[in-house]
């Protein structure tokens, strides 16, 4: 996806499918954007999402528990957001849990 300048922005177990050959497929591109950080535009939908500072660079979207620190802080992010979320999803798949989660969203942020 990075080669095609696509940020998925919502990688989680629910959005990872396995086909009959055992290949992983990514679905639900509703929050994805394409382009550089400065010129990102939505791939789907007819309206643009306005981020915390009026642009898409730091639009905090996705599954809160899987967002990297820079996204939670409202700082600009790039492909590292998807890599972070992918790592958390793979850890969840392997271990069944991540100790960051306590059922309270606000309790997660200091531990990320």
> Could you give the CA distance from residue 79 to residue 81 in angstroms, rounded to a whole number?
5
pLDDT digits (tens, 9 = 90+) for 16-72: 999 999 999 999 988 887 765 533 444 434 333 333 333 444 566 777 777 787 777
> Could you give the CA distance from residue 61 to residue 56 in angstroms, rounded to a whole number?
10
- Say if residues 60 and 74 touch (Cβ distance below 8 Å): yes
Q: What amino acid positions are annotated as catalytic residues? A: 10
> Could you give the CA distance from residue 6 to residue 79 in angstroms, rounded to a whole number?
8
Burial category of 104 from C-beta neighbours within 10 Å (exposed 0-12, middle 13-18, buried 19 and up): exposed
- Say if residues 35 and 41 touch (Cβ distance below 8 Å): yes
Share of residues in the chain with pLDDT > 70 (%): 62
Domains of the chain: 2-111 (1.10.510.10)
């Amino acid at each position: 996806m990075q080669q095609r300048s696509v940020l998925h922005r919502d990688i989680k177990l629910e959005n990872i499918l396995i086909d009959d050959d055992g290949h992983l497929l990514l679905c639900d591109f509703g929050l994805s954007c394409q382009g550089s950080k400065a010129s990102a535009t939505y791939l789907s939908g007819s309206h643009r999402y306005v981020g915390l500072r009026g642009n898409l660079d730091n639009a905090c979207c996705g599954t809160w528990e899987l967002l990297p620190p820079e996204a939670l802080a409202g700082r600009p992010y790039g492909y590292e957001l998807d890599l972070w979320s992918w790592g958390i999803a793979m850890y969840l798949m392997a271990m069944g849990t991540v100790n960051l989660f306590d059922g309270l969203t606000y309790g997660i942020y200091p531990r990320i």
